[in-house]
Amino acid sequence: MLEDAILEKEKRPDTKPVNELTDGFHLLIDAFKANGLNTIYGVPGIPVTDFGRLAQASGMRVFSFRHEQHAGNAAAIAGYLTKKPGLCLTVSAPGFLNGLTALANATTNCFPMILISGSSEREIVDLQQGDYEEMDQLAIAKPLCKAAFRILRAEDIGIGVARAIRAAVSGRPGGVYLDLPANLFGQVIDAQEGARSIVTIVDPAPAQLPAPHSVKRAIDLLKSAKRPLIILGKGASYVQADELIRSFVEKSGIPYLPMSMAKGLLPDDHPQSAGAARSLVLKESDVVIMVGARLNWLLSHGKGKSWGAPGSKRFIQIDIEPREMDSNVEIAAPLVGDIASCISALLEAMGGNWQPPSSDWIQAIAQKRETNLARMATKLQSNVVEPMDFHTALGVLKKIMKEQPETMLINEGANTLDFARSIIDIYKPRKRLDVGTWGIMGIGMGAAVAAAVETGNRVLAVEGDSAFGFSGMEVETICRYNLPVCIVVFNNNGIYRGTDVNPTGGPEVAPTVFVKDARYDIMMQAFGGIGVLAHTRDDLSKAVNEALESGKPTLINAVIDENAGTESGRIGNLNPQSIVTKT
Ligand SMILES: Cc1ncc(C[n+]2csc(CCOP(=O)(O)OP(=O)(O)O)c2C)c(N)n1
Ligand SMILES: [Mg+2]
């Protein structure tokens, strides 16, 4: 009987077709693509090498870097520019740790990104048996980012990626860690089941409307102001509600101060800009409305000398994160919601006959601004020919940015940062990318790559020579992908200045100085890019114009007087110094 049954079964044709299969590699790619994430910045290696290859084969753009930190910074900037999480791909343990700095920095700056990292086998890692690149990456990432997830089963990839994307972009954006153990990639499941497991996210960053009574409270306070001020932060730039914000500023008639990455949200030469009268407006204003800006160290925590007499200020704050309110000082009118919804609500509540601030206030600011701008203009026209100082060189770049306002400006350094921020005007939203909330060095080349890739525009990276060094090897990446990036290294032979000496007279040079007259321009030539040594204003102007015209990867080594800078640029007050003299 049994034999009959077997024979019978063998005779019956198998009606069920062999099912197609998919695996972790392909499901990850499908999950990202289903949500419009088509670009990866990373460094290949075990266990993600094939993932990068397959992603490229599927039509995704895969940019390979020389170090994960810069891939991570590129992903973060991609997130800032597109409002979709930038993807950074790293290998286990050391690669992951290299990417983690960028993830933490993205979270601090509220840039949405996802660090996707391969990791070693759970069974071995958890018993600490010494696997290849063993590390409990999820545990390490968790306190440094907004959310951290691990996917163990191929069928969970769709939902895992969805959770990561939503966590990165909803509410206050930030960095998300996604841990992918090596054996996830090769796990095979039925292709149809796989397709069903992919989640296409509906409304990843839902609008969050402010409560009507909080809008009324804010408007009442604004109406009572004699000397109101608007402060625009990079949160306001991020939201891409440029027209709404401009209408609010212009309808209100209130002077505004842009934080560094909010420069250009309204053009820096806008008549209501108080950028050139910063100390006056911080001190004298009575009601301050913060739009996507935080009262952190960059604004002296909203108190102290720069903010005038104690108790002289009342704050309205627009932020999507309720816990931001009262973080440093009392917020009289918190407005919790997404910036576009809050600004729309304010505009509506302002009605048809809004009274602009008194002309006394406007004129006091205008006067201060004119005086400061005239003083700066004199410095910019100085006849210092060679070596250039910061003003001479930045005067050239200021003119070029005015003529070519679509150019993406990247900026890091100390003096190079502080002078460039105040000298170079920005005319369009999201054109200036810099060291952000932490004042971190090393964002330069990662940001330059992402700016070029995500916008297609020309990129001008204005870099202190120390700042450049943190990501300098990525010039090879820029040359390899032939990106339209022009790097200007402000070469003053060191950190702040090139003049420090070792007080002992010993053979090691002082800790803040570098090789004298280093030829960064030749570095660029090594990879087929254009390298130019610029001693004068004319050299610099010619080289930058040519680079922006041709779009060829270019590095201009701008020789700056090594005496010209000051210690710590403009934040020397934060630098502890010893007053004890030892004999
Ligand atoms: C990751 C990181 N490491 C170190 C620092 C400290 N730091 C602040 S500015 C700076 C470099 C300043 O020199 P440079 O870029 O040459 O600018 P300069 O003032 O000379 O124009 C350094 C190392 C930092 N901000 N971030
Ligand atoms: Mg320097």
pLDDT digits (tens, 9 = 90+) for 131-172: 889 999 999 999 999 999 999 999 999 999 999 999 999 999
Q: Are 562 and 389 in contact (CB under 8 A)?
A: no
**DSSP alpha helices (H): ranges in 352-506?**
359-380, 390-403, 415-423, 444-455, 465-471, 475-480
The chain-wide mean pLDDT, for the chain, equals 95
Which atom of ligand 1 is closest in space to residue 419's alpha carbon?
21
pLDDT exceeds cutoff 90 at 456: yes
Q: pTM for the complete prediction?
A: 0.95
> Taking the CB of residue 427, how many other CB atoms lie within 10 A of it?
18
Write out the H or E segment, with its range, that includes residue 339.
helix 339-350
CA of 380 to the centre of ligand 2 (A): 19
- Per-residue pLDDT at 236 exceeds 80: yes
- Over residues 249-266, the pLDDT tens digits come to 999 999 999 999 999 999
Pairwise CA distance, residues 335 & 322, whole Å = 9
Q: Give the pLDDT band of residue 15 (cuts 50, 70, 90).
A: low
pLDDT at 10: 57
Q: Which atom of ligand 1 is nearest to the CA of 440?
A: 26
| Residue 22 to residue 29: CA distance in whole angstroms | 11
Per-residue model confidence as pLDDT tens digits over 458-504: 999 999 999 999 999 999 999 999 999 999 999 999 999 999 999 99
Tokens representing 492 are 């003053």
Distances in Å between the Cα of 94 and the Cα atoms of 51, 70, 83, 119, 136 are 18, 14, 28, 10, 12
Mutate to test the pocket of ligand 1, among 435, 462, 495 (most ligand atoms within 8 A of CB): 495
Centroid of ligand 2 to alpha carbon of 184 (angstroms): 46
Q: What's the confidence (pLDDT) of residue 18? A: 67
Query: Which residue's CA is the nearest one to ligand 1's atom 13?
Result: 495
Average pLDDT over residues 120-125: 92
Q: How far is the CA of 229 from the centre of ligand 1 (A)?
A: 32
Taking 70 as the threshold, does the pLDDT of residue 13 lie above it?
no
Lowest-confidence pick of 290-304, 358-372, 407-421, 566-580: 566-580
- Per-residue pLDDT band at 16 (split at 50, 70, 90): low
Average pLDDT in the 398-412 region?
Answer: 98
pLDDT tens-digit series, residues 295-345: 999 999 999 999 999 999 999 999 999 999 999 999 999 999 999 999 999
What does the CA dihedral 71, 407, 83, 416 come to, rounded to 10 degrees?
60
> Where are the extended beta strands (E) located within 477-581?
485-491, 530-534, 554-559
Q: Ligand 1 — pocket residues by CB below 6 A?
A: 413-416, 439-442, 464-467, 490, 492, 495-496, 565, 569
pLDDT at 6 over 70: no
* pLDDT band for position 382 (cuts 50, 70, 90): confident
- Closest approach atom of ligand 1 to CA 492: 20
Question: Ligand 1, atom 8: nearest CA belongs to which residue?
Answer: 414
Amino acid 7: pLDDT: 56
Question: β-strands 21-23, 188-190: how paired?
Answer: antiparallel
**pLDDT value of residue 383:** 72
Q: Whose CA is nearest to atom 5 of ligand 1?
A: 441
Q: Mean pLDDT, to the nearest integer, of 53-62? A: 98
For 124-150, the DSSP string reads HHHTT---TT---HHHHHGGGSSEEEE
